[in-house]
């Protein structure tokens, strides 16, 4: 398949754009594969891509029940950052960040990763200390972080209310300049095209309806397009993990599925040139290249598979937005949507072999899924290929909860809605 470049664009424009080929093939499933990846979202596709690229395993099928990228990769607020408190998380997300920084070249697909920074605003001295703790933790792992003064913040985002009379005045903030945002759909499409070019079969409209077993071992899946066998079956179905694990006979997981709403305003000329988070609630915002303000807040707070949000969270998020930007009251919210989050008991993900023989599990992405896409696939591919985790994902086991080895960045314990 042709490389994408300014030259290929020009050449195709001259022929009326008639010669472009599909970004990925639409093959029928084969009877068997070396690896089946269930879930054609960002993580499943990147897993397939890195299986092929890093481990030479190309006899791979990605099974997607609907259209490719229909899950959370296309339903998020596109933030990419590695500003975590705990070293297990920071190391993993920093690995992801490094993959992001070269992703467009690697995929020959512009995922529009723009490192415009992520600024966490602090509103009390104690919070500023907390952010300093986190920033210093990052610096001790070689990750960039800086504290910003109120004056610096004012210069960066003039629309912010930095007055001392605000209900929660801004006292400073923690900035990760290498953080940024990317075009979410392009990530799915870029990985799909990249995996396809390396021989991976991407099979859409193929829902897994059961698991094939030989004794206790998983040997394949039954699907709406027939039975497919595989030496290894890998799950990357965040949001639906509970449902798919049920098919494998595992009824309980350390996961709850929750709805997270996100919002976009109408297009505006540039007004916010970074990613901002509010410290006295739960609110984050950035502005897309098209000009829409992209923002969100807390989970709706109860188990749901409905991809439908509730009104109180809408009101809460908008209120927090105006606490930061009282000038934006007349800007209008244009779209809202709900994504399904696998919320784990400590707020950190699971990338592991098992829990059944022949099965590999990637789930529990909570809020962090989009930014994790490259590293998640990279680590999962390693885990599948080598039958053991890479050191980056070694802490993200399923049994860590039981062993008291939780990775609890927020310190909230086993209450998923609070992570």
Q: Give 57 or 235: the residue with its C-beta nearer to another protein.
A: 235
Q: Kindly determine how many residues on this chain lie close enough to bind another protein according to the rule CB under 8 A.
A: 144
Site for another protein (CB under 8 A): which residue of 40, 41, 117, 190?
190
Q: CB-based contacts of 243: which residues, under 8 Å, 6+ apart?
A: 237, 305
Q: DSSP characters for 366-399?
A: TT-HHHHHHHHHHHHHHHHHHSS--TTTTT--ST
Q: 398: how many CB neighbours lie within 10 A of its CB?
A: 19
Q: Contacts with another protein in 204-243 (CB under 8 A)? A: 204, 240, 242-243
Q: Where are the beta strands (DSSP E) in 12-134?
A: 32-38, 60-63, 79-80, 118-122
Q: Contacts with another protein in 314-373 (CB under 8 A)? A: 314-315, 318-323, 326-338, 345
H or E, element range at 188: helix 184-197
Treating both helix axes as pointing N-terminal to C-terminal, what angle do 125-139 and 87-101 enclose, rounded to 10 degrees? Answer: 60
Treating both helix axes as pointing N-terminal to C-terminal, what angle do 87-101 and 369-386 enclose, rounded to 10 degrees? Answer: 100
Nearest distance in Å: CB 186, another protein: 5
Q: Please count the residues of the chain.
A: 419
Q: Give 209 or 402: the residue with its C-beta nearer to another protein.
A: 402
Binding part of the chain for another protein, among 27-35, 41-49, 107-115, 225-233 by CB under 8 A, reads 107-115
Q: Give 86 or 385: the residue with its C-beta nearer to another protein.
A: 86
Q: Where are the beta strands (DSSP E) in 102-182?
A: 118-122, 146-148, 172-176, 180-181
Query: Is residue 4 a contact residue for another protein (CB under 8 A)?
Result: yes
Q: Contacts with another protein in 25-64 (CB under 8 A)? A: 26
For another protein, what does the binding mask look like between residues 391 and 410, x meaning CB under 8 A? ---------xxxxxxx-x-x
Q: Contacts with another protein in 13-32 (CB under 8 A)? A: 13-14, 16-18, 20-24, 26
Q: CB-based contacts of 399: which residues, under 8 Å, 6+ apart?
A: none
For residues 202 and 206, give the distance between their C-alpha atoms in angstroms, rounded to a whole number.
Answer: 10
Binding part of the chain for another protein, among 6-14, 47-55, 208-216, 228-236 by CB under 8 A, reads 6-14
Contact 69, 189 (CB under 8 A): yes
Nearest distance in Å: CB 378, another protein: 18
Site for another protein (CB under 8 A): which residue of 155, 159, 199, 209?
159
Q: 359: how many CB neighbours lie within 10 A of its CB?
A: 20
Q: Give 152 or 310: the residue with its C-beta nearer to another protein.
A: 310
Nearest distance in Å: CB 32, another protein: 25
Query: Is residue 201 a contact residue for another protein (CB under 8 A)?
Result: no
Q: Contacts with another protein in 122-151 (CB under 8 A)? A: 123-126, 128-137, 139-142, 145-147
Q: Give 120 or 219: the residue with its C-beta nearer to another protein.
A: 120
Q: Contacts with another protein in 263-282 (CB under 8 A)? A: 265-271, 280-281
């Amino acid at each position: 398949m042709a490389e994408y470049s300014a030259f290929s664009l020009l050449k195709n424009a001259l022929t009326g754009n008639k010669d472009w080929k599909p970004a990925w093939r639409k093959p029928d499933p084969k009877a068997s594969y070396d690896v089946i990846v269930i879930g054609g979202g960002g993580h499943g596709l990147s897993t397939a891509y890195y299986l092929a690229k890093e481990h030479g395993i190309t006899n791979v099928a990605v099974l997607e029940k609907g259209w490719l990228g229909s899950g959370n990769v296309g339903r998020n607020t596109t933030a990419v950052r590695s500003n975590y408190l705990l070293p297990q998380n920071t190391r993993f997300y920093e690995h992801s960040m490094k993959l992001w920084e070269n992703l467009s070249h690697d995929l020959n697909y512009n995922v529009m990763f723009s490192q415009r920074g992520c600024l966490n605003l602090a509103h009390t001295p104690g919070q500023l200390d907390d952010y300093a703790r986190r920033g210093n933790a990052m610096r001790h792992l070689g990750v960039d972080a800086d504290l910003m003064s109120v004056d610096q913040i004012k210069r960066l985002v003039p629309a912010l209310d930095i007055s001392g009379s605000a209900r929660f005045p801004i006292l400073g903030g923690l900035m990760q300049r290498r953080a940024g945002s990317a075009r979410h759909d392009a990530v799915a499409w870029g990985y799909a095209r990249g995996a396809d070019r390396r021989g991976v079969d991407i099979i859409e409209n193929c829902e897994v309806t059961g698991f094939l077993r030989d004794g206790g071992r998983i040997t394949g899946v039954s699907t709406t397009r027939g039975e497919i066998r595989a030496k290894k079956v890998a799950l990357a179905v965040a949001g639906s993990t509970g449902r798919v694990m049920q098919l494998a006979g595992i009824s309980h997981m350390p996961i709850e599925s929750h709805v997270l709403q996100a919002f976009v305003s109408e297009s505006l000329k540039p007004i916010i040139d970074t990613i901002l988070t509010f410290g006295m609630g739960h609110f984050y915002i950035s502005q897309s290249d098209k000009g829409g303000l992209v923002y969100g807040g807390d989970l709706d707070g109860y188990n749901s598979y409905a991809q439908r949000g509730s009104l109180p969270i809408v009101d809460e998020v908008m209120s927090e937005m105006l606490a930061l930007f009282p000038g934006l009251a007349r800007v209008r919210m244009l779209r809202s949507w709900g994504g399904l989050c696998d919320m784990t008991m400590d707020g950190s993900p699971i990338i592991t072999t098992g829990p059944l023989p022949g099965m590999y599990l990637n789930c529990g992405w909570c809020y962090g899924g989009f930014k994790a896409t490259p590293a998640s696939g990279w680590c999962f591919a390693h885990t599948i290929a080598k039958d053991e985790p890479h050191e980056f994902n070694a802490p993200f086991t399923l049994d860590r909860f039981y062993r008291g080895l939780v990775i609890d960045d927020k310190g909230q314990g086993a209450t998923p809605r609070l992570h």
